[in-house]
Amino acid sequence: MEKPDYAEGGILYELMGDTDDIITDYENIRDDLVAALYGVWDHIKNGGDHGAENYELEWVGMLPGVRESRRLVGDYLLDETDILENRIFDDAVCYGGWNVDLHTAHGLLDLDRHPSGDTRYFDGIYTIPYRSYYSKNISNLFMAGRNISATKLGYCSTRIIGCCAIGGQAVGSAATLCKKYACSPRALAPHIRELQQLILTRETAFYPRYLTRTRTTTQEMLSLPQSRTGSAEKRGV
Ligand SMILES: Cc1cc2nc3c(=O)[nH]c(=O)nc-3n(C[C@H](O)[C@H](O)[C@H](O)COP(=O)(O)OP(=O)(O)OC[C@H]3O[C@@H](n4cnc5c(N)ncnc54)[C@H](O)[C@@H]3O)c2cc1C
């Protein structure tokens, strides 16, 4: 079919969420999304003059993208304050800078709010402490990616692919040192400087260009004022 010259095409994506369990109810959620999608398409084509006579539906995704699922609790729970205040942790092993983009709980089922209208923007970057990357009660378990120890709002920023990727590199480096010292993830804490240097010098994933091998503290490495330094003490969760 020849496309009209006023529209090259586009992508329609839906957000939906409810009280369902994203894992066990996955297929039901998929069915609801498909039903909603064809309802929207029916409206576009038949529900009024939308100028869509020559539009065609070329492709429909059948695997819903899961935005949020299980997160594990570590020795530190990163929250939105850490992010919005550009917190710099002494045991930082990763950093992020994406906005806190909270999606509306029920997606398109909430008729009063924009599905992704609750975004909080901020300047600068924040760090993620090593303590958010291992379980607080399973002694030999690391987390990496979207399942790290963060609150719902904290997760809204840390979930971004780049942040997940360099966090994964940090965890891989930490696992190397756990093997070297024959210790659990938590027991690696005294070796945090070695871990940070390893991430920097071997993986080049942690503040490339800004860190040097000779620096010893995160504060120095980041060259940020003391007032922006976060406490390294554990937060009870
Ligand atoms: C619709 C959508 C759009 C997004 N858009 C963006 C974007 O534009 N930019 C951005 O930066 N981020 C985006 N994100 C967020 C980002 O994609 C995710 O937060 C991120 O990819 C999570 O990475 P992860 O490694 O934790 O998990 P995943 O990428 O989900 O990787 C987990 C992997 O583990 C595999 N797996 C699961 N169980 C097992 C098992 N038992 N054995 C072996 N393998 C298993 C899975 O198949 C999967 O490949 C988007 C997310 C969604 C849902």
Ligand 1 site: residues with CB under 6 angstroms? 65-67, 145-146, 159-161, 164
Q: Is the per-residue pLDDT at 85 higher than 80?
A: yes
The CA-atom distances, in angstroms, between 25 and each of 31, 32, 108, 147 are 10, 11, 18, 19
DSSP assignment of 54-68, as one string? T--------S-----
Residue of the nearest CA to atom 14 in ligand 1?
160
Work out the average pLDDT over 71-95. 94
Which residue among 161, 166, 171 is best mutated to probe the pocket of ligand 1, counting the most ligand atoms within 8 A of its Cβ? Answer: 161
Work out the average pLDDT over 172-201. 94
The string of pLDDT tens digits covering residues 8-27 is 677 777 788 767 888 899 99
Going by C-alpha positions, the residue among 66, 81, 70 that lies closest to residue 30 is: 66
Domain limits, the chain: 1-66, 80-228
Which ligand 1 atom lies nearest to the CA of residue 65? 53
Residue of the nearest CA to atom 32 in ligand 1?
145
pTM here is: 0.83
At residue 102 the predicted structure's pLDDT band, cuts being 50, 70 and 90, is confident
Which ligand 1 atom lies nearest to the CA of residue 146? 26
pLDDT given for residue 5 in this prediction = 55
Going by C-alpha positions, the residue among 202, 230, 5 that lies closest to residue 211 is: 202
Residue of the nearest CA to atom 23 in ligand 1?
145
The CA-atom distances, in angstroms, between 100 and each of 10, 119, 161, 169, 236 are 26, 6, 14, 23, 23
Q: Please give the Cα distance from 108 to 26 (Å, whole number).
A: 17
Provide the mean pLDDT of the chain: 83
Q: Is the per-residue pLDDT at 157 higher than 70?
A: yes
pLDDT given for residue 207 in this prediction = 56
Instruction: Return left, alpha or beta for 12; rule: phi > 0 is left, psi -120 to 50 is alpha, else beta.
Output: beta
Question: What count of other Cβ atoms lies within 10 Å of the Cβ of residue 52?
Answer: 16
At residue 229 the predicted structure's pLDDT band, cuts being 50, 70 and 90, is very low
Q: Positive or negative CA dihedral for 161, 164, 170, 175?
A: negative
pLDDT given for residue 208 in this prediction = 42
pLDDT given for residue 49 in this prediction = 87
Which residue among 11, 132, 146, 163 is best mutated to probe the pocket of ligand 1, counting the most ligand atoms within 8 A of its Cβ? Answer: 146
pLDDT given for residue 100 in this prediction = 94
Q: Is the per-residue pLDDT at 78 higher than 70?
A: yes
Which residue among 71, 128, 159 is best mutated to probe the pocket of ligand 1, counting the most ligand atoms within 8 A of its Cβ? Answer: 159
The CA-atom distances, in angstroms, between 230 and each of 56, 117, 218 are 53, 29, 11
At residue 1 the predicted structure's pLDDT band, cuts being 50, 70 and 90, is very low
Q: Is the per-residue pLDDT at 109 higher than 50?
A: yes
Work out the average pLDDT over 47-59. 89
pLDDT given for residue 183 in this prediction = 98
Instruction: Report the range of poorest mean pLDDT among 40-49, 73-82, 210-219.
Output: 210-219
Residue 231 Cα, ligand 1 centroid: separation in angstroms?
Answer: 31
**Which residues make beta-bridge pairs with 187?**
none
DSSP assignment of 149-212, as one string? SB-HHHHHHHTSHHHHHHHHHHHHHHHHHHHHHT--SGGGGGGHHHHHHHIIIII--SSTTT--
Q: Is the per-residue pLDDT at 188 higher than 50?
A: yes
